[in-house]
Structure 1
Amino acid sequence: MRFIHCADLHLDSKMTSNLSREQAKERKMEILRTYSRMIDYAKENKIDGIIIAGDLFDTRNISATARNMVKDSIMSNPQIEFYYLKGNHDSDNFFSKLDDIPENLHLFNEEWKTYDCGSISLSGIEIDSTNESTLYNSLVLDNDKYNIVIMHGQIGQINLNAMKNKGIDYLALGHVHEYQNGPIDNRGIYCYSGCLEGRGFDECGAKGFVVLDIDEQKLTAGFSFIPFAYRNLYTIYVDVTGAMTTQDAAAKIEDELAKNPYSSRSLVKIVLVGEVDVDCEINTDFLKDMFEEYFYYEKVYDETKLLINYSDYEKDVSLKGEFIRMVLQSDMSEEKKSEVIRCGIMALSGEEI
């Protein structure tokens, strides 16, 4: 049998950080379409079941569009079993709008619930304050089956040590938004599928879901991560050491982007790093305008450090020298000194701060 393990879809997320109003609306619809494309993938690849390990929705106020898309995807695919465990963002609002729970939609609650599919069993529990201290002792599995266990939470909240020697083969987790996996014991592994689409620059890199392919006779399985996001987010660090002008920095950005040809659909944060001279002029607004046509969304941050030799300004009688000496002799942190000097030099040079 073949299963998709997904989590943290966050359908109906507002997507208002960073993006314009039009882009936020577009991204909201794209996340819904990615969910729909995943269902198409399941049909085309003869997936038997889809495990949603929490945070299907992003808010309790679910739009009719999102609610109907999910309902229709379940009801129009009776050949696929859906296993939905609520996460910390989910509520019962979705179910309250359903006249009947479809036969192929299997739910979980605050006590362990198990669904059997021949030699495969799927067990899940929704963690809350009433069960987090007792849930490990109450988990009882059949060692002669391939056991999938479904939970939502980060490791720490989920005690992996307490899951050892329970007969778990695959622990399908949600809550962490990047793909991760590792051993539980000699028998089983845990896996975070990550989210389907990144929503902010804390969710960079490939996003998608996991396909679990189980041999029902041997009770063994292979699994693979399927990158599936329509758009990916990247943070790109560009070392601009030695640059003296905005044009110098732009050339270094061009060189860095050439090493990894990012899709024009990407959302990109360019972070300038390295050491630059105190007289270096880098205009991040100009750089943002220069590269914004390269990507769907792009922004530029300057995190360079000023290379300041105190002896160069010891006897400098200029206003700039006096200002730099005053800042260097202050009790501010080195990071703050660098920031104040950068702003001061810009002001003295007639630049906007």
Structure 2
Amino acid sequence: MVKFIHAADLHLDSPFKSRSELPPHIVDRLMESTYNATKRMIDYAIKEKVDFIIIAGDVFDQKNRTLKSEIFLKEQFQRLEDNGIFTYMIHGNHDPLDHNVKTSWPSTVHVFKENIETYQLMSKDNEKIFLHGFSYLHDETYENKIDHYPVNNRNDGIHIGILHGTYSKSNTKSKRYTEFTLEDLRSKLYHYWALGHIHQRQELSDMPLINYAGNIQGRHMNETGEKGFYIVSGDHVHLYSTFVSVEDIQFERYDLEVNNIYRDELYRAVTEYKNKLRKEGSRVIELTVYYDGEEDISGNDYYEILSLLQEDERDVEDFVWIDRLYIEQENADQNALLTDIKNSFKDDDDLYKTALNTLYMDPKVNKFLPPMEDIDKEKLLELGEARLKLLMRK
């Protein structure tokens, strides 16, 4: 049995991008957010008594890392060592070895060099583990080093590959460092691949498990949603991975429907919505407000509302900062059509049951559905109406 953390792309000291002028306390929180997220990960590792942590590249955001980031990371690694937890990390395109300041890490920290290396260790349950990986020497590493990873031809132990690179079918806008295919990775016969570089977490394969952990903290509106790491456990027969969210601040896009565009009611509706989001933690958001009606909002009213909404967050610790506000008018004809469709299913039981039976007969959908008798008709129709509205907006 083994239990470990797969993280990547900590990007300590990363700058943050915003379209609006952020108040100082939010800027400070953003600058500390990668540190806070990393500390939460270390707290979790100690609490769960993992065997080791893997960091799959881009630990630091820049080649010339700051003294602050080095001291911080050294302190966190020391906490792991004090609890008998090992750390294995590779360097990526943001923090290549040729700019590596010689840092004296704790003895339980192992940094892979530019050529493929293998580390062997034993888990707390005496499971033999083999870790294979390499660090970038320069920031322009496009060569495919997959051929240099050893093939697992042993009958014992758990083999884990660590790679900072780009999946060949990925549509990422990032530079395509060390491109690979699933066939490349599967050919090594490893039990798990810990990937880094792509900032969106993805499970590329479940047999074997091939995962991008994503970055640990979003930094702008192209890095939305929960951020964190994978906790992986199991044995040489099967490994299981579960995502753990530790971001300090979440970037996200939201839609909000309101009945009209009168400025006082719009301000009140958005404020109430922000307060609901606030319960889930600090956020920087883009908000699109959809409204029914013929009226339009003036430019002056728009900027005054946005200014007030932002001013409300200036001294708030659990802030919900609206970085961008969009106001869109709903199509009256489309809304009338949706209401007619909803009422048709609501009033005609045969039509409703026929549609529901069609849904339950689809094997790809059926496995995710509750028993038919547990379906709340009114809630289902409301969800369907909301989904159709969303599709019509695209």
TM bin (shorter chain)? 0.7 to 0.9
1:316 aligns with none
2:215 to 195, 203, 214: 195
8 A contact 2:30–2:249 mirrored in 1: no
2:201 aligns with 179
Q: Among all aligned residue pairs of Structure 1 and Structure 2, give the percentage whose two residues are the same amino acid.
A: 26
Aligned to 1:36, the other structure's residue is in SS state: helix
The residue correspondences of 1:205-224 to structure 2 (distance < 5 A) are 205-215=225-235, 218-224=236-242
Deviation of 1:22 (Å): 4.5
Distance across 2 between alignment mates of 1:4 and 1:161: 24
Distance across 1 between alignment mates of 2:292 and 2:65: 48
- Give the stretch that moved more between structures: 167-176 or 287-296: 287-296
Deviation of 1:261 (Å): 6.1
Q: CA RMSD in A?
A: 3.1
1:272 to 289, 303, 307: 289
Q: Deviations over 1:265-310 (max 9, x none)?
A: 22222123578747543633223234333634223332636979xx
Deviation of 1:211 (Å): 0.7
- Between 1 and 2, higher relative CO (CA 8 Å, sep ≥ 6) is seen in 2
Q: Deviations over 1:63-115 (max 9, x none)?
A: 212111112322453322111111111134884242x4543222223322111
Aligned to 1:77, the other structure's residue is in SS state: helix
Taking structure 1 as reference, are residues 131 and 121 closer, same or farther at Cα in structure 2, changes over 3 Å only? Answer: farther
8 A contact 1:16–1:24 mirrored in 2: no
2:159 to 141, 147, 153: 147
1:15 aligns with 16
In structure 1, the gaps of 5 or more residues are: 309-353
1:55 aligns with 58
8 A contact 1:171–1:191 mirrored in 2: yes
Aligned to 2:167, the other structure's residue is in SS state: coil
Distance across 1 between alignment mates of 2:186 and 2:292: 49
Distance across 1 between alignment mates of 2:281 and 2:237: 43
Matched letter for residue 304 of structure 1: E
- Runs of 4+ in structure 1 off by over 4 angstroms are 127-131, 254-262, 273-280, 305-308
| TM-score where L is the length of structure 2 | 0.67
Count of aligned pairs between the two proteins: 302
In the alignment, structure 1 residue 110 sits paired with structure 2 residue 110: no
Aligned to 1:56, the other structure's residue is in SS state: coil
8 A contact 2:290–2:330 mirrored in 1: no
| TM-score where L is the length of structure 1 | 0.74
Structure with higher helix content: 2
1:168 aligns with 190
Aligned to 1:96, the other structure's residue is in SS state: coil
8 A contact 1:244–1:277 mirrored in 2: no
- Give the stretch that moved more between structures: 203-212 or 285-294: 285-294
1:225 aligns with 243
Deviation of 1:220 (Å): 2.4
Deviation of 1:205 (Å): 1.2
CA radius of gyration, larger in: 1
1:313 aligns with none
